[in-house]
Structure 1
């Protein structure tokens, strides 16, 4: 490694099931990657010890910690201002966990933390579809619906670090009850992989006489992957699941556009594998619900980052803004 300023960043993405990590250079090339289980550790200190033991050999291989500028971490309910994970519902560690401080102390390298969707937005801005853009929104469509909002080149954190929970905005007043928050009609209850599953089950129940390939599966086996596979085979009801999902998502995106007037909205996550099945109805209903001054101005794009790399890149991108 050349002498001078550290040229590498360590990116860590903490998911409810697994944690992925990688050492990244300024160009966004991942030089080393690995993963450990998140959920097997009830105690956060045990988790950090395993994380350190998994990463330390790679740091040594890269010339030691003097070559690592910093550590960026993306995590559910991660607060950029405090460096803490606060009351994350899908992690074993409850309450407020000062994760950035714990990682800094263990690794001897400065660490910064943000929530996973904000990390995705930073990654898109530095390495992906939002490169060169100053106003855009990233919507992550996975098990849940996350979002990162960038205005005038700055990520929007709000006064407390939790701005941008667009997945929990109400898309259908009085609608479907969210399995975790208890809210009725939130976007996440419809436009997530979990929401797609519930929509499919509802349509199967409400249309008992309509044939569908999805009926070949027991109810507890129907998930977003089954819906996708059936839609790819031309199943009308599975296609209607995506059309309805796109309608709800598109209406919500229209609201988001009229809030911050982004140049682009970038969709990322597992549901994007459905391609035009989700993109076309989303775009149609977004445009239909916009005021004329906003219509046909906003690009609706899929992320250009590989899903397996995006979490690492997004987290590592936090490092380059460190003082």
Structure 2
């Protein structure tokens, strides 16, 4: 058995997972961020012990613990360099701390990486050796898997697809401090950014007019209007799709994945979004890379991070990959 946790700012998604990454039991606990988040790991450990007992297991019956955390992780050491959502500051060796609590091997990675690993093993990646996941939520994150293993890079910045520069006009500021990032034009926030921008520039008639003028617009409204044939909303979504296709064309020649998996809240637009991306992607991308790549939407939802965290133990402990 494997213990897995996807630790978030509001809740920790916990699970007991078998060696084939099937979920035996899953549950959530509230993330206690008080006292600089010092209670989080102990609370996770205590919850594991409690729930193992309900299925007649003990901590020593498990092969290891996989942890996904929302922040930059040095994978080799298992050290996180701050996590604002968890009230963690500075460098904290999560791996070492949890190994002392549990007595088990522990592997820690960024939450976007473990979600990618989950989709690779049990979701839209169909256990292919080379897959990429791009999560489109409030921001844009993701992860890349090459030859069945996550790509971390020299400093753990691999997979930060949201910071590929795609908007050459550099119209919107990004949280990273730069302008023109994919995140500013293709996340949920980016969809809204572009809608406001083009409405002011073009003055289209649109069902979104009231929401735009009241500054209450949400990305889902734009997608819904586009699906219903609103000309202006469709214009915006095509711009979003073109930016994504450009980023995907770069990713494709760098990693040549079998699948580019779109996750996050924006992915709920489903095949409608994929079709628009593919229209541009095929014209932009080096043909030998494009012909072997399929763009798909994620299938695991909130379970992806937990399954991927368990996948760390399967990959690095049970299969002995380094």
Q: Is the 8 A contact 2:14 2:27 kept in 1?
A: yes
Gaps of 5+ in 2: none
Give the alignment partner of residue 36 of structure 1, picking from 13, 25, 29. Answer: 29
Match of 1:134 among 122, 129, 134: 129
Higher deviation after alignment, 87-96 or 270-279: 87-96
Instruction: State the match for 2:308 in structure 1.
Output: 314
Q: Give the Cα separation in 1 of the matches to 2:175 and 2:244.
A: 20
Which residue number in structure 2 is paired with residue 58 of structure 1?
A: 51
Native 8 Å contact 1:121 1:137 kept in 2:
yes
Question: Matched residue of 1:94: which SS?
Answer: strand
Distance in structure 2 (CA, Å) of the matches to 1:118 and 1:190: 22
Q: Is the contact made by 2:139 and 2:188 (CA closer than 8 Å) also made in structure 1?
A: yes
Match of 1:152 in 2: 147
Mapped to 2, the partners of 1:302 and 1:44 lie a distance apart of: 34
Which has the higher mean CA deviation after the structures are superposed, 63-72 or 230-239? 230-239
CA contact (8 A) 1:42 1:93 kept: no
The count of aligned residue pairs is 315
Indicate the residue corresponding to 1:5 in structure 2: none
- Structural mapping, 1:184-263, within 5 Å: 184-213=179-208, 215-216=210-211, 219-263=214-258
What is residue 112 of structure 2 aligned with on the other side?
117
**In structure 1, what is the equivalent of residue 14 of structure 2?**
21
Report the counterpart of residue 4 of structure 1 in structure 2. Answer: none
CA-atom RMSD in angstroms: 2.3
The offset of 1:290, in angstroms, is 1.5
The residue that corresponds to 1:47 in the other structure is 40
* Cα distance, 1:28 vs structure 2: 3.0
For 1:85, which of 80, 87, 92 is the aligned residue? Answer: 80
Question: 243-252 or 85-94: which moved more?
Answer: 85-94
**How many Å apart are 1:11 and its aligned residue?**
1.5
In the TM superposition, residue 12 of structure 1 has moved relative to its aligned partner by: 1.1
Distance of 1:255 and 1:179 partners within structure 2 = 20
1:214, 1:230 within 8 Å by CA — same for their partners in 2? no
* TM-score of the two chains, using structure 1 as the length reference: 0.88
Work out the CA distance in 2 between the residues paired with 1:218 and 1:41: 39
Contact 1:176 1:186 in 2 (8 A): no
More moved, 142-151 vs 228-237 = 228-237
Deviations 1:233-262 (A, max 9, x none): 443333333221111000110111111222
Structure 1 residues 37 and 231: CA distance shift in structure 2, 3 A: farther
Could you state the TM-score of these two structures normalised by the residue count of structure 2?
Answer: 0.88
- More deviation, 231-240/25-34: 231-240
* 3-state SS, counterpart of residue 43 of structure 1: helix
Deviation at 1:119, TM superposition (A): 1.0
Residues 9-41 of structure 1, C-alpha deviations (whole Å, 9 max, x = no match): 112112333321211113333222222333743
